[in-house]
């Protein structure tokens, strides 16, 4: 089971701050993104990166035994 944390506009669109998804240990970040959108269609078309720990993950990265990821939308400021 992977806990998916949502922030900012993603949290607002989903109506909650996290999801629990069940994925195989061979699943990739791209697989997680597909399952997340299936669980919450309001996130379809949204632009965001997936972070594991303190680093952004690439779509092809294997999740392995990861238990928590964060979905980070684009940010701006100055």
42-71 average pLDDT score: 95
Residue spans per domain, the chain: 2-72
Fold of 2-72: Ubiquitin-like (UB roll) (3.10.20)
CA distance 32 to 42: 16
pLDDT grade, residue 46 (50/70/90)? very high
The residue with tokens 């997340």 is 36
Whether 76 has a pLDDT exceeding 90, the answer reads no
Here the tokens at position 27 are: 């699943």
Q: What is the reported pTM?
A: 0.90
Give the model confidence (pLDDT) of 14-27 as tens digits: 999 999 999 998 99
């Amino acid at each position: 089971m992977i806990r998916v944390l949502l922030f900012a506009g993603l949290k607002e669109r989903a109506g909650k701050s996290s999801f629990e998804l069940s994925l195989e240990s061979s699943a990739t970040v791209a697989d997680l993104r597909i399952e997340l959108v299936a669980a919450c269609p309001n996130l379809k078309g949204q632009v965001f990166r997936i972070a594991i720990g303190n680093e952004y993950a690439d779509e092809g990265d294997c999740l392995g035994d990861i238990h928590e990821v964060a979905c980070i939308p684009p940010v701006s400021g100055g």
